[in-house]
């Protein structure tokens, strides 16, 4: 079985593949027939038959399908080679190569850091502003990663806590004139409190049920904001939120944007540092244990209820702080910034990057926020390309762009254990 | 050491335990045997606090622990090895053992215990960096027992350690259980379907049928008992 698939991968064209691709091409020609071929000219009351379109569709879908098949074959061939074990030279991932050369890894990360610091100086305000958004999503992805990647709690309404942070700053500023720096921790803590309040009723839920309930909470939050005019000013939102300043200086828009950029960057670094420490800590281990097996964790003396609350609290804090920065950056917030779609997007970042991996979450967030931005040149096709990229990543790298080191380790070790058992 | 009086546990409206009395002395191996669905696992889950009982009393070292949270019970030295092993499959063997010592803070002694465990099961030492999920069934069971030992149990609750294992591995695991009991003085409460093996290493045995204890005696007497022979030993 594995032999034939490898042979197929090596051969450029096989009869079976051609047959399948032709079938798919025919099917697409049939499917698109009504829209691509028939065109009713209502002025002259005639019907145009555009057969050329049909041929183009047929050829295009044949080629696409064949290329797809070729890649899939190659991937399966690779997999079966790995399963045969032993003989094939182990291919190291970029991450593993970097781990083996700590000097390179270190200088590389410093280079990235330096680049990130001088970024606003070498690019315009528009670029900086995009980068701020991207970095805010990095924080969100890192925060959600605590819940999904580390603790295995599938939470869908994560953007709620981002919204809580943003509204905390906006309202505190509106009513009490609280400035950005004071609001920053308050927003985080407030999001944390809401997180714990939501966590208490869902403590007993797992998996899909948890996802559904948190999804519902997300919607409730948005609907309440849209309708509670006295508090949130409804869909018209809150405007004129002051941008962050420092030392009481009067900054113009572009200076304030740069300042916001540095605040977010610093915050990203703090988040990375804290989460890295968390992963190696006792709490981090209890989160991982909870993800792996709840009953076993309980048998080990880990309090499941407390651990879940800790996961929620730790995760939602970052979203709250990011929300405050978001409000300060845009100076205007309304409920439409905190929809389902945003929650799903953050979830995509975590999954695309690789669950439970810090660099994964960062790369995932950057790809998902920056890709549609830089694809603007393709105007209306950009979301299509975006979708195709997501599908391709998930097909060819199902563990994400940069899978967490645990999973990689397993792949490295597997052939050895197989061999031992075979002996 | 552990005394259970008139324990009744329900799953919704269904009564799984219909008033159970058990008595386990310090340093003993006590086994609870019975067929599928007799309520053996429920008994263990009730004792360890995962499924709280509705009526009855559980007394550990003279202290009533009925209704205490599972993690508090663990801190009192009552450790359960859950049915079906339930090891952390994506953590390495060493990390699994570390999780067992979750409630302990004495780094030096944890290390010593880990060495002891590796000496009990040399295969685990060999595979200490391997993922739990890649171990064979028998090795996983060894890991589950070792993980529980890392918590420094005063009383160890084992739920069907022979489940799904080859006879030779079962023999090996039962030998180790006996060894742990003798070397460490750990009290063992063993729930088993493999009555023959369990009774061979136990001091005392209880037979359970549909939520009730129907027989209790010394293990050797039970092994010789005609009814037990017919029902559970297949002789």
Convert the pLDDT of each residue in A322-358 to its tens digit: 999 999 999 899 898 898 888 988 998 898 888 888 8
Residues of B with CB under 8 A from a CB of A: 48, 50, 69-71, 74-75, 79-82, 86-92, 95, 98-100, 102-103, 127, 129-131, 133-134, 136, 147-148, 151
Q: How far apart are the first and last CA of chain B?
A: 34
Q: What is the pLDDT of residue B179?
A: 92
For position A102, what pLDDT does the model report? 74
- Return d(Cα B144, Cα B99) in angstroms, integer: 11
Task: Find chain A residues with C-beta within 8 A of B92's C-beta.
Answer: 409
CATH 1.10.3470 fits A112-396, yes or no: yes
pLDDT value of residue A387: 81
pLDDT along chain A (423 residues), means of 10: 48 75 88 84 84 87 86 71 50 63 80 85 85 93 91 90 94 89 93 92 82 90 89 85 79 84 92 89 88 86 89 93 92 89 89 86 89 77 78 81 60 44 39
Work out the mean pLDDT of chain B and round it to a whole number.
Answer: 90
Contacts of A52 (CB under 8 A, 6+ apart): none
Q: Which of B50, B75, B91 sits opposite A298 (nearest CB)?
A: B50
* Residue numbers of chain B with a pLDDT score lower than 50: none
Record the pTM. Answer: 0.79
> Do A300 and B147 make contact, defined as CB atoms within 8 angstroms?
yes
Q: Residue A299 and residue B136: Cβ atoms within 8 Å?
A: no
> SS3 sequence, chain A?
CHHHHHHHHHCCCCHHHHHHHHHHHHHHHHHHHHHHHEEEECCCCEEEECHHHHHHHHHHHHHHHHHHHHHHHHHHHHHHHHHHCCCCCCCCCHHHHHHHCHHHHHHHHHHHHHHHHHHHHHCCHHHHHHHHHHHHHHHHHHHHHHHHHHCCCCCCCCHHHHHHHHHHHHHHHHHHCCCHHHHHHHHHHHHHHHHHHHHHHHCCCCHHHHHHHHHHHHHHHHHHHHHCHHHHCHHHCECCCCCCCCCCCCCCHHHHHHHHHHHHHHHHHHHHHHHHHHHHCHHHHHHHHHHHCHHHHHHCCCCHHHHHHHHHHHHHHHHHHHHHHHHHHHCCECHHHCCHHHHHHHHHHHHHHCCCCHHHHHHHHHHHHHHHHHHHHHHHHHHHHHHHHHHHHHHHCCCCCCCCHHHHHHHHHHHHHHHHHHC
Q: Tell me, what's the pLDDT at A274?
A: 92
Show Cβ contacts of residue A19 under 8 Å, excluding neighbours closer than 6 positions: none
Q: What pLDDT score was predicted for residue A109?
A: 82
A299 contacts in B (CB within 8 Å)?
A: 48, 50, 70, 74, 79-82, 86, 148
Q: Do B102 and A285 touch (CB under 8 A)?
A: yes
Q: Write down the pLDDT at residue A405.
A: 65
Q: Among partner residues B70, B127, B151, which is closest to A298 by beta-carbon distance?
A: B70
Interface touch A406/B90, C-beta < 8 Å: yes
Sequence spans of domains, chain A: 3-81, 112-396
Is some CB atom of chain B closer than 8 A to the CB atom of A127?
no
Q: What was the pLDDT predicted at A423?
A: 36
- How close is the nearest chain A Cα to the Cα of B82, in Å? 7
Residue A191, pLDDT score: 94
Looking at residue A408, what is its pLDDT? 40
User: Measuring CA to CA, how many Å separate A333 from each of A20, A237, A324, B97?
Assistant: 51, 5, 11, 49
Q: How far apart are CA A189 and CA A272, in angstroms?
A: 19
């Amino acid at each position: 079985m594995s032999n034939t698939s490898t042979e197929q991968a090596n051969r450029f064209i096989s009869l079976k593949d051609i047959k399948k691709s032709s079938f798919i091409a025919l099917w697409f020609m049939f499917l698109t027939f009504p829209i691509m071929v028939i065109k009713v000219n209502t002025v002259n009351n005639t019907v145009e038959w555009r057969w050329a379109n049909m041929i183009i569709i047929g050829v295009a879908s044949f080629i696409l399908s064949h290329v797809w098949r070729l890649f899939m074959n190659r991937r399966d061939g690779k997999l079966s080679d790995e399963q045969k074990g032993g003989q094939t030279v182990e291919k190291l991932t970029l991450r593993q190569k970097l781990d083996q050369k700590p000097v390179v890894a270190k200088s590389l990360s410093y280079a990235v850091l330096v680049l990130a610091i001088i970024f606003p100086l070498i690019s315009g305000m528009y670029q900086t502003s995009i980068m701020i958004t991207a970095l805010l999503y990095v924080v969100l992805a890192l925060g959600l990663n605590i819940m999904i990647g580390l603790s295995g709690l599938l939470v869908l309404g994560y953007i709620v806590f981002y919204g809580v942070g943003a509204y905390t700053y906006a309202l505190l500023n509106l009513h009490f004139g609280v400035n950005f720096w004071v609001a920053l921790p308050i927003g985080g803590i407030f999001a944390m409190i809401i997180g714990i309040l939501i966590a208490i009723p869902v403590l007993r839920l797992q998996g899909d049920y948890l996802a559904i309930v948190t999804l519902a909470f997300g919607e409730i939050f948005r609907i309440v904001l849209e309708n509670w005019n006295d508090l949130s000013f409804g869909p018209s939102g809150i405007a004129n939120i002051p941008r962050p300043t420092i030392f009481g200086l009067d900054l113009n828009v572009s200076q304030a944007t740069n300042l916001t950029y540095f605040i977010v960057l610093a915050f990203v670094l703090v988040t990375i540092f804290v989460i890295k420490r968390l992963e190696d800590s006792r709490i981090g281990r209890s989160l991982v244990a909870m993800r792996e097996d709840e009953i076993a964790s309980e048998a080990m003396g880990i309090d499941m209820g407390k651990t879940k609350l800790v996961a929620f609290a730790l995760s939602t804090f970052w979203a709250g702080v990011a929300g405050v920065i978001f409000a300060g950056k845009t100076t205007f917030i309304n409920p439409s910034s905190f929809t389902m779609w945003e929650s799903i997007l953050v979830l995509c970042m975590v999954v695309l990057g690789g669950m439970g991996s810090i660099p994964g979450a960062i790369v995932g967030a950057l790809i998902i926020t920056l890709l549609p931005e830089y694809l603007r040149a393709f105007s209306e096709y950009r979301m299509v390309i975006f979708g195709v990229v997501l599908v391709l990543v998930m097909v060819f790298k199902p563990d994400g762009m940069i899978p967490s080191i645990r999973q990689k380790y397993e792949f490295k070790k597997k052939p050895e254990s197989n061999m031992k058992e075979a002996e | 050491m552990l005394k259970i009086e008139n324990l009744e546990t329900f799953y919704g409206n269904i009564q799984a335990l219909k008033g159970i009395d058990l008595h386990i002395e310090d340093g003993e191996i006590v086994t609870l045997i019975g067929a599928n669905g007799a309520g053996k696992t429920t008994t263990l889950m009730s004792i360890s606090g995962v499924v709280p009982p509705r009526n009855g009393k559980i007394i550990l070292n003279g202290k009533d622990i009925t209704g205490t949270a599972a993690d508090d019970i663990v801190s009192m030295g009552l450790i359960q090895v859950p049915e079906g092993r339930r090891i952390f499959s994506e953590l390495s063997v060493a990390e699994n053992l570390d999780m067992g010592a979750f409630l302990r803070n004495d780094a030096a002694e944890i290390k010593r215990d880990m060495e002891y465990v590796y000496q009990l099961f040399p295969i685990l030492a060999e595979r200490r960096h391997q993922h739990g999920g890649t171990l064979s069934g028998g090795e996983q069971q060894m890991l589950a027992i070792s993980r529980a030992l890392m918590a420094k149990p005063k009383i160890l609750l084992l739920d069907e350690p022979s489940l799904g294992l080859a006879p030779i591995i079962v023999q090996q695991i039962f030998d180790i259980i006996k060894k742990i009991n003798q070397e460490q003085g750990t009290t063992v409460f063993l729930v088993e379907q493999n009555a023959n093996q369990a009774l061979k290493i136990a001091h005392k045995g209880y037979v359970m049928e549909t939520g009730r204890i129907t027989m209790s005696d010394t293990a050797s007497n039970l092994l010789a008992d005609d009814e037990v022979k017919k029902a559970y030993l297949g002789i």
